[in-house]
Structure 1
Amino acid sequence: MKTAILPALLLGFALFITFPAKSQTASPKKGTAERIKVHGKGLEGNLSGDSPDRDVSVYLPPSYKTDKNRRYPVLYLLHGFTDNDAQWYGFTKHWINLPEVVDKAFADPAVREMIIVTPNAYTRFFGSFYSNSVTTGNWEDYVAYELVSYIDSHYRTIATAASRGLTGHSMGGYGTMRIGQKHPEIFSSIYLLSPCCMNANLNQNRNEAALARIEAIQSDSALVKADFGVKAAFATAAAWTPNPKKPPFYIDLPSKDAQTQAGLMAKMAANAPLAMIDQYIPNLKKLHAIAFDAGSKDVGIAASNKVLNSVLNDYQIKHTYEEYDGDHINRIGERIEKKVLQFFSENLSFEQTKRR
C-alpha cells in the first residue's frame, strides 16, 4: 500500500512545482469601465455651442457586479487641458489606461475599492477649467452638484460628503482645488496632481510676439492649429473673462495691440486658487484630508505647490505635500496607483449607509 502511495505523492509534488497555484500567478481582478451621458442644466445655452449632454466615464470596481448589496465611496477624477475622459479610460487612444492602473492598485488588500468618475470637460476651447462661465457653461456647478447627484441616483454609492473624494491632474488639479475649497459639504478629501494655474499672474510684460499670435486668431480652424500656449490663453479667457457681446468666441482676450490689459489680467488673476485661498480657510479646515504633489522637473507647478504648502502651514491646516523626481506627466499613472488611491482608501468613509 505504501509503495502505491509514494509515487502518487511524488507526482502530486511535481505537478505543484510545475503548475503553481493560481494565486501565485493570478493577474489582478478587473473592474469595468462604462461611458454614459449626463445632462448639465447649467451647461445649457453656453455661447460656445458645446452640448450640455456630457460624456462621463465611470470605473466600477471588481466586486461591484457581484456584491449587489454593497455601496461604495466615489472618487471624482478631473482630467487635464486638451484631454478627455475617453483618453484616460481606454475608450480611445490614450496616454494613461486608468482602469488598468486602478485594477493594479486594488490588488493590494490595503487599498479599498471605490467607484471612480470622470466627466468629459473637453470644450470648443479644449478644456473648461471647471469654472462657471456663460461662454462655456457652469462647469463648477456641473461637477459639484449635477454630476454628483446623477451618480448618487444611478449607482450604489455612499451618498455622503465623507465618502466623496475629488482629484485631478493639471487643469483637473486646478479644478480640484477650485471646487474642493468651496464645497466641503460635498467632498471631504482632495488630492491635487501637478495642479496648474494656482498662482495669480499679474505680469504686465508678457512677450509681445506671443500676444500678437493670440490676437491673430480669428476662427476655430485657426485656433485648432495654434500652439498650446495660444489654446490655453483662449480657454482661460473663455472660463474667466467671458464676453456675451463679443462673437465669434465670446471672450475678452487679456491683451489688445500686443499690450496686456490690466483689468482683464486682474479678472484672470482673481480665479487663481492661491489668490482666493484666504477666503476659504474655514472651508479648507472642514476638509478631512488634503494632499498635493508635483514632479521636481515640473518647475513652475512645483514652485506653486511650495507656496500652497506654506499657506496651509501658516494656517495650521493639516495636509500632505510631496515633490518627487519627475515631470508633468511621466509618473502620473504611478502616482495614482501608489499614492492617490492609497490616500483616498485611508481617508474616505466606507461605512455602509442606506440611500436617503
Structure 2
Amino acid sequence: MLPWSSPLAGRIENDVIHSELLRDNPLGDPHERPVYVYLPPGYDDSDRRYPVVYVIQGYTGHVTMWFNRRPFARPYPEMADDVFAEGDTPPAILVYVDAWTAFGGSQFVDSPATGRYHSYLCDEVVPWVDARYRTLASPAHRAISGKSSGGYGAMITPMLRPDLFGALATHAGDALFDVCYPSDFPKAARILRDTYEGDYRKFFADVAQRVHGTRDSDMELMEIYGYAAAYSGNEDGTVSLPFDDTGALVPEVWARWLRWDPVRMAAQEEHATTLRDLKAIWIDAGRGDEYYLDLGATAFHRAVAAAGAAADRVHFELFEGRHGNIDYRYPMALKWLCERIAP
C-alpha cells in the first residue's frame, strides 16, 4: 500500500463557514470553521441533485485529521471515493464537519460551557451546504455518520432533528452511559487527588504551561471534563462533574448525563416515533471495544427495535475488533446508507 495520496475519481472542496452561533462561544474557540465537501464523479457534468451524508468525528477529532495517513492504511476520504468510483453505489455528496473545542470535542450538543455545536451543525452547516451545492434537500435524502463521539452525534442528531436527517450510521458510538462512562470516574478522582489536590483548575493551569500529553493522565482528565462540559455544563459556563472526590456518582449531575444517553432517548415516545420513520439505521462496534461500546451498540439496537423500526431498515453487527483502527467499516456503512437515501 502506497504511503502517499492517490487521485480521486470525485473531488473535494474545502471552505470556511463563518458561524454566528459559535461566535463568542464560552471557550473562545474559533467561530470560523473549515468544512470539506466531497463531490462524487460526474457532479460537474450534469445538473443532477444528490443525497448528502454528513460525516462527524470522534473525541479530539478535527476535520483535517480525516486526511491523516497511517502505515498500511488509507484515509477515509479515499476509501469513500472508492465506493463511488466503482459505479455500483448511488452517488452522494459527503460533508466533513468540524466541531472541535478546546476541551477536545463538543459531543455535537448545545452546551453553555462549550457552545452551540448541535445548532451549528443543523442550522448553519446544513443550510450552507444546500445553498451552495445541488443537494436533495430533504430528510429522506440526508444522513449522518460517525464513530465514537461522532457515532454518538449520529445517534442523537436525527432524534433531535427529524426535520433534517432521515438516516444514520453509528460506529462504536457512546451509548448505555451506565456502562461506558462510570468506570473512568474513580481513576480521574484518584489522579486529581494525587496530582492536583483534587482541583481541575490546577490541572488546566499545569497543562497550559507544558506540552499536552507529556503526562499519561492528561487525556484521561481532559476527556472526562470534555464530556462533563457537554452533558452537565451550567448556564454560567461552569462545569459540574458527575462524581465526587471518591469517584462515587453525584446523583443529580449523573441524572443530567443520563438524559443524553441515546439508549434512554430512544425509549421516549417522541424519539421512538422518529426512529420508526428513519429510512436507514446502521449500528456496529468491535466485540472487544475497550469502552464497552459493543454493549452500548447492542443496547441501542434493542432500543431501536423496541421503538418499532422495521428490521429491513436496520443493520446491526458486532465484528472482531476493538475501538481503534475500524476505519475500514465506514465505507461499508456509506454504501449501505447511499443505497437507501438515493432518490
TM-score by length of 2: 0.84
Per-residue Cα deviation, 1:225-247 (whole angstroms, up to 9, x for no partner): 4433212211111111113446x
Deviates more, 1:312-321 or 1:165-174: 312-321
Q: Which of 182, 207, 210 is equivalent to 1:222? A: 207
> CA offset at residue 315 of structure 1?
3.2
Residue 16 (structure 2) aligns with: 37
Q: Which of 171, 180, 190 is equivalent to 2:158? A: 180
Per-residue Cα deviation, 1:11-68 (whole angstroms, up to 9, x for no partner): xxxxxxxxxxxxxxxx985222232111333222321111222111211212223x14
- Would the alpha carbon gap of residues 162 and 208 (structure 1) be closer, same or farther in structure 2, given more than 3 Å must change? closer
Residue 35 (structure 2) aligns with: 56
Residue 343 (structure 1) aligns with: 336
Residue 31 of structure 1 contacts residue 99 of structure 1 at CA under 8 Å; is this kept in 2? Answer: no
The aligned runs of 1:62-211 (5 Å cut-off) are 62-65=41-44, 67-88=45-66, 90=67, 97-200=75-178, 208-211=186-189
SS in 1 for 2:151: helix
User: Is 1:294 aligned to 2:285, yes or no?
Assistant: yes
Residue 175 of structure 2 contacts residue 297 of structure 2 at CA under 8 Å; is this kept in 1? Answer: no
Residue 173 of structure 1 contacts residue 192 of structure 1 at CA under 8 Å; is this kept in 2? Answer: yes
Distance between the aligned counterparts of 2:142 and 2:17, measured in 1? 18
Residue 166 of structure 2 contacts residue 280 of structure 2 at CA under 8 Å; is this kept in 1? Answer: yes
> CA offset at residue 205 of structure 1?
8.0
Distance between the aligned counterparts of 1:162 and 1:205, measured in 2? 39
TM-score by length of 1: 0.81
Task: Output the amino acid matched with 1:222.
Answer: V
> CA offset at residue 273 of structure 1?
0.9
- Count of matched residue positions in the alignment of Structure 1 and Structure 2: 316
> CA offset at residue 345 of structure 1?
2.0
Residue 185 of structure 2 contacts residue 243 of structure 2 at CA under 8 Å; is this kept in 1? Answer: no
- Would the alpha carbon gap of residues 53 and 204 (structure 1) be closer, same or farther in structure 2, given more than 3 Å must change? closer
Residue 32 of structure 1 contacts residue 62 of structure 1 at CA under 8 Å; is this kept in 2? Answer: yes
Per-residue Cα deviation, 1:288-345 (whole angstroms, up to 9, x for no partner): 111111111215111111112222223331211011112212232x2122x2122122
Task: Output the amino acid matched with 1:199.
Answer: F
Residue 204 of structure 1 contacts residue 262 of structure 1 at CA under 8 Å; is this kept in 2? Answer: no
* Unpaired stretches in structure 2, ≥5 consecutive residues: 1-5, 193-197
SS in 1 for 2:58: coil
SS in 1 for 2:267: helix
Distance between the aligned counterparts of 1:217 and 1:126, measured in 2? 16
Provide runs of 4+ in structure 1 moved above 6 Å: 202-206
- Would the alpha carbon gap of residues 326 and 203 (structure 1) be closer, same or farther in structure 2, given more than 3 Å must change? closer
> CA offset at residue 111 of structure 1?
1.1
SS in 2 for 1:185: coil
User: Is 1:307 aligned to 2:299, yes or no?
Assistant: yes
Q: Which of 224, 230, 241 is equivalent to 1:233? A: 224
Superposed CA RMSD in Å reads: 2.4
SS in 1 for 2:160: coil
SS in 2 for 1:292: strand
Residue 272 (structure 1) aligns with: 261
SS in 1 for 2:283: strand
Residue 326 (structure 1) aligns with: 321
Distance between the aligned counterparts of 1:202 and 1:196, measured in 2? 7
Distance between the aligned counterparts of 2:80 and 2:150, measured in 1? 18
* Unpaired stretches in structure 1, ≥5 consecutive residues: 1-26, 351-356
Distance between the aligned counterparts of 2:80 and 2:165, measured in 1? 21
Q: Which of 257, 265, 269 is equivalent to 2:245? A: 257
Overall identity of the aligned pairs, in %:
28
Per-residue Cα deviation, 1:117-160 (whole angstroms, up to 9, x for no partner): 12111111000100111121111111122110000001121112
Residue 170 of structure 2 contacts residue 282 of structure 2 at CA under 8 Å; is this kept in 1? Answer: yes
Residue 174 of structure 1 contacts residue 198 of structure 1 at CA under 8 Å; is this kept in 2? Answer: no
Distance between the aligned counterparts of 2:181 and 2:35, measured in 1? 37
Per-residue Cα deviation, 1:166-203 (whole angstroms, up to 9, x for no partner): 11111000001111112222111111111124434698
Residue 111 of structure 1 contacts residue 341 of structure 1 at CA under 8 Å; is this kept in 2? Answer: no
Q: Which of 309, 317, 320 is equivalent to 2:309? A: 317
